[in-house]
């Protein structure tokens, strides 16, 4: 069958997919699962924004007939220089690098904020020290963190090695925060090379390039430490190599470039790489069979094998098995793709997968371009109007479908700086968005086209002045604790060569102690969410006193789940993650811990990256702190906590008398 006969059905199917999942609140129609909160308000904003954009377009189109200077046919063709002249492309990428770097400093304070970023920076520092892992601490409860593995005598992050390896390049230069901006800029260059092969019209290709490089989704993501940025860069390397390998005269080195790109991407985000590498490999295989040219296929195979072999070797050195990733060590097979019980205890079903996909594409409507109207509408319109697809169009659509299918089968809701799991779709969506106006011109009259052009200009202007700026303010105001530079604050406070005990919430402390007695992360999450915090704390204390750990500890904790039906979220603690058994009355110990939380606490995980000037930051575990006093004898001791329970209040270093810790331990507190 000739593939071009499927072009029209494929384009209509893609358009229908975007329309249904991007506009309809399917998740809200299915009870008991995730939902799109505030959907009526969002629809109201879309309708209002669309009306404003169309009204502005109509007014400007009418004005352009009275003021000819407002309109000139072919005025936008000059932007084609961006994809026709390498110098112009590099200049655009340099401007994007500056923009991304400014976002990284001004919005994120140059700090890793999400726990994923923090752990990957931690692993990057291990790599820069010339190691794959560190010896596990004797008492991991003081320094453990979500996504940080301390098993088998080894300490390392759960993420595939490629992401931290990219950050290690920045760590070596003392500027890990620049890795995202620089890789984002390289992605602009690579997409500029790719889009010219996908879209033959220079002005349209340049429009897609500008949409890609200046998309708020890309801008905000590229200022961060997230591995989606570096993964997309290497995916684009693979796509550029593929686009060259399938065009005469395809060569071994083109296939090698494609393979290396997809292979390195697999060391960062294996699922994303598979979605793009699998159809690429099948394409090269079919071409090799049809044309009897195997050079490009062999090059791609070698290119993929080299970085993947390195990843498998690193897995062997850390997790103990080439195909076992850190995720599985930490969470078990419940972390894997598929429809099964998740690490949190819920069951991921196809219905839940549909709900998550629905949320991802509805979020793309806002986060992709931050327009006053749905961001996916132009791409949807272009797909509806198209009749022919190029071979690279088909490849990108198939890869996009595979990516969507993979995350349909993944249980976690990937939401940070937008629907981050859909980040690799931005190149595809940029191309089809840029094609919307030319497609409309082909079916509509001249005046309607003018209205659309002026409407698009108005939408972009509103997106920049309202949507993007509001989003920037939102990001700037959020996640304040990880922004705090502990080393600088300690230096200013004169804290050097000291043991700094970090006051976390009672619930966070109980969770760390569960990990320390050998309870897996998934079991610990289930226990924490379904058992009264005071009951859990007392039981763990008994396990610690008797030296019970591992499976025995789990077997003694599991009967406590019998009362989970009467457990509810706390209403009297400042930590909303804690749980309380209905009708229970707390004794002095548990009531005292809640009072302590009201006096202020902070997050420990961001502080695993601190420790300059000889300081050691460790979680405060009250009576168990004597273990640290033995490990670090003679050091000055400080308690780091918030001055009040408000998250925006300042952190303070409070000098502590070590003897008071010993007295507290002897008193059983």
Three-state SS for 322-350 is: CCCCHHHHHHCHHHCCCCCECCCCCECCH
pLDDT, residue 201, reads: 94
Question: Which tokens go with 185?
Answer: 């800029």
Are 588 and 611 in contact by the 8 Å Cβ rule? The answer is: no
- Which residues make Cβ contacts (< 8 Å) with residue 363, sequence separation at least 6? 415, 418, 419
pLDDT, residue 130, reads: 95
In a domain, 420, yes or no: yes
| Cα–Cα dist 537/111, whole Å | 33
Number of domains in the chain: 3
Whether 599 shows a pLDDT value over 60: the answer reads yes
- Which residues make Cβ contacts (< 8 Å) with residue 135, sequence separation at least 6? 153, 154, 155
Mean local confidence (pLDDT), 264-284: 97
Mean pLDDT rounded to a whole number for the chain: 92
| Cα–Cα dist 382/386, whole Å | 6
Question: pLDDT for 101-150, tens place per residue?
Answer: 999 999 999 999 999 999 999 999 999 999 999 999 988 889 999 999 98
Domain boundaries, position 430: 1-70+342-478
Mean local confidence (pLDDT), 74-100: 92
Whether 194 shows a pLDDT value over 90: the answer reads yes
**Domain match, 486 and 628 both:** yes
Band of residue 622 on the pLDDT scale cut at 50, 70, 90: confident
Question: Which tokens go with 623?
Answer: 């009576």
Are 227 and 203 in contact by the 8 Å Cβ rule? The answer is: no
In a domain, 284, yes or no: no
pLDDT, residue 77, reads: 81
In a domain, 15, yes or no: yes
Band of residue 269 on the pLDDT scale cut at 50, 70, 90: very high
Question: pLDDT for 138-190, tens place per residue?
Answer: 888 899 999 999 888 899 999 999 999 999 999 998 899 999 999 999 999 99
Pairing relationship of beta strands 567-569 and 579-581 according to DSSP bridges: antiparallel
pLDDT, residue 172, reads: 92
| Cα–Cα dist 288/297, whole Å | 7
**Domain match, 349 and 493 both:** no
**Domain match, 493 and 437 both:** no
Residue 583: Cβ-neighbour burial (10 angstroms; 0-12, 13-18, 19+): exposed
pLDDT above 70 covers a percentage of the chain that reads 98
In a domain, 148, yes or no: no
**Domain match, 531 and 494 both:** no
Mean local confidence (pLDDT), 650-658: 89
pLDDT, residue 645, reads: 54
Whether 667 shows a pLDDT value over 80: the answer reads no
Ranges 68-72, 398-402, 562-566, 602-606: which has the least confidence: 68-72
Mean local confidence (pLDDT), 617-635: 91
**Domain match, 661 and 535 both:** no
| Cα–Cα dist 438/449, whole Å | 9
Mean local confidence (pLDDT), 601-620: 93
In a domain, 29, yes or no: yes
Question: pLDDT for 440-482, tens place per residue?
Answer: 998 887 889 999 999 999 999 999 999 999 999 999 998 888 9
- Helix H or strand E encompassing 180: helix 179-198
Band of residue 669 on the pLDDT scale cut at 50, 70, 90: low
| Cα–Cα dist 508/4, whole Å | 57
**Domain match, 575 and 473 both:** no
Are 295 and 258 in contact by the 8 Å Cβ rule? The answer is: no
Question: Which tokens go with 375?
Answer: 């961001």
**Domain match, 582 and 614 both:** no
Question: pLDDT for 311-354, tens place per residue?
Answer: 999 999 999 999 999 999 998 888 899 999 888 778 999 999 99
In a domain, 62, yes or no: yes
**Domain match, 348 and 384 both:** yes
- Helix H or strand E encompassing 651: strand 651-656
In a domain, 231, yes or no: no
Q: DSSP H helical segments within 558-603, as ranges?
A: 588-598
Ranges 238-247, 326-335, 367-376: which has the least confidence: 326-335
* Backbone phi, psi, residue 641, to 5°: -155, 170
**Domain match, 495 and 626 both:** yes
Closest by CA to 133, choosing from 113, 153, 115, 114, is 153
Residue that terminates a domain, selected from 586, 611, 637: 586
**Domain match, 376 and 471 both:** yes
**Domain match, 346 and 452 both:** yes
**Domain match, 625 and 491 both:** yes
Whether 630 shows a pLDDT value over 70: the answer reads yes
Question: Which tokens go with 308?
Answer: 């993947």
């Amino acid at each position: 069958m000739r593939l071009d006969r499927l072009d029209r059905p494929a384009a209509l199917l893609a358009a229908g997919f975007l329309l249904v999942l991007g506009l309809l609140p399917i998740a809200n129609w299915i009870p008991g699962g995730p939902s799109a909160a505030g959907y009526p308000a969002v629809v109201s904003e879309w309708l209002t924004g669309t009306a404003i954009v169309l009204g502005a377009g109509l007014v400007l189109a009418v004005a352009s007939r009275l003021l000819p200077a407002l309109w000139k046919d072919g005025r936008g063709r000059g932007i084609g220089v961006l994809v026709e002249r390498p110098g112009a492309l590099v200049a655009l990428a340099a401007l994007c690098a500056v923009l991304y770097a400014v976002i990284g400093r001004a919005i994120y304070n140059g700090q890793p904020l999400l726990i994923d970023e923090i752990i990957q920076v931690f692993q990057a520092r291990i790599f820069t020290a010339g190691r794959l892992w560190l010896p596990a601490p004797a008492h991991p409860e003081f320094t453990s963190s979500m996504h940080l593995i301390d098993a088998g005598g080894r300490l390392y992050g759960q993420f595939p090695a490629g992401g931290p390896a990219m950050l290690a390049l920045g760590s070596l230069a003392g500027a890990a925060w620049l890795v995202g901006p620089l890789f984002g800029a390289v992605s602009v260059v690579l997409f500029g090379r790719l889009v010219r092969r996908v879209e033959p019209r220079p002005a349209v290709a340049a429009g897609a390039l500008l949409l890609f490089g200046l998309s708020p989704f890309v801008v905000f993501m590229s200022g961060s430490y997230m591995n989606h940025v570096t993964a997309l860069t290497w995916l684009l390397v693979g796509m550029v190599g593929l686009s060259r390998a399938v065009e005469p005269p395809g060569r071994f080195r083109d296939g090698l470039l494609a393979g290396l790109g997809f292979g390195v991407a697999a060391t960062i985000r294996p699922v994303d790489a598979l979605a793009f590498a699998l159809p690429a490999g099948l394409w090269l295989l079919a071409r090799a069979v049809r044309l009897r040219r195997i050079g490009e296929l062999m090059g791609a195979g070698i290119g993929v094998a080299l970085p993947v072999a390195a990843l498998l070797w690193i897995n062997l050195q850390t997790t103990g098995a080439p195909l076992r990733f850190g995720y599985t060590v930490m969470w078990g097979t419940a972390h894997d793709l598929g429809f099964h019980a998740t690490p949190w205890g819920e069951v991921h079903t196809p219905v839940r997968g549909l709900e998550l996909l629905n949320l991802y594409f509805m979020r793309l409507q806002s986060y992709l371009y931050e327009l006053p109207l749905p961001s996916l509408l132009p791409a949807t319109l272009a797909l509806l109007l198209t009749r022919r697809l190029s071979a690279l169009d088909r490849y990108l659509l198939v890869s996009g479908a595979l990516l969507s299918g993979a995350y349909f089968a993944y249980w976690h809701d990937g939401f940070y700086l937008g629907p981050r799991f859909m980040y690799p779709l931005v190149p595809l969506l940029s191309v089809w968005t840029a094609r919307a106006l030319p497609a409309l011109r082909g079916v509509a009259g001249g005046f309607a086209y003018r209205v659309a052009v002026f409407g698009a200009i108005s939408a972009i202007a509103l997106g920049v002045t309202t949507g993007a700026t509001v989003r920037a303010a939102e990001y700037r105001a959020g996640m304040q604790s990880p922004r705090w530079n502990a080393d600088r604050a300690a230096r200013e406070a004169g804290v050097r060569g000291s043991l700094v005990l970090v006051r976390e919430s009672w619930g966070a402390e109980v969770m760390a102690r569960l990990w320390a007695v050998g309870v897996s992360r998934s079991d610990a999450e289930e226990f924490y969410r379904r058992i009264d915090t005071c009951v859990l704390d007392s039981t763990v204390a008994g396990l610690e006193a008797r030296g019970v750990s591992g499976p025995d500890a789990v077997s003694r904790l599991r009967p406590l789940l019998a009362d989970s039906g009467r457990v509810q979220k706390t209403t009297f603690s400042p930590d909303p993650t804690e749980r309380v058994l209905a009708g229970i009355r707390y004794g002095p110990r548990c009531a005292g811990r809640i009072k302590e939380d009201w006096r202020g606490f902070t997050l420990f995980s961001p502080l695993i990256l601190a420790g300059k000037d000889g300081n050691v930051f460790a979680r405060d575990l009250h009576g168990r702190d004597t273990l640290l006093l033995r490990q670090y004898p003679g050091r000055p001791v400080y308690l780091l906590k918030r001055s009040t329970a408000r998250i925006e209040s300042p952190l303070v270093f409070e000098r502590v008398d070590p003897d008071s810790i010993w007295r507290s331990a002897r008193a059983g507190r």
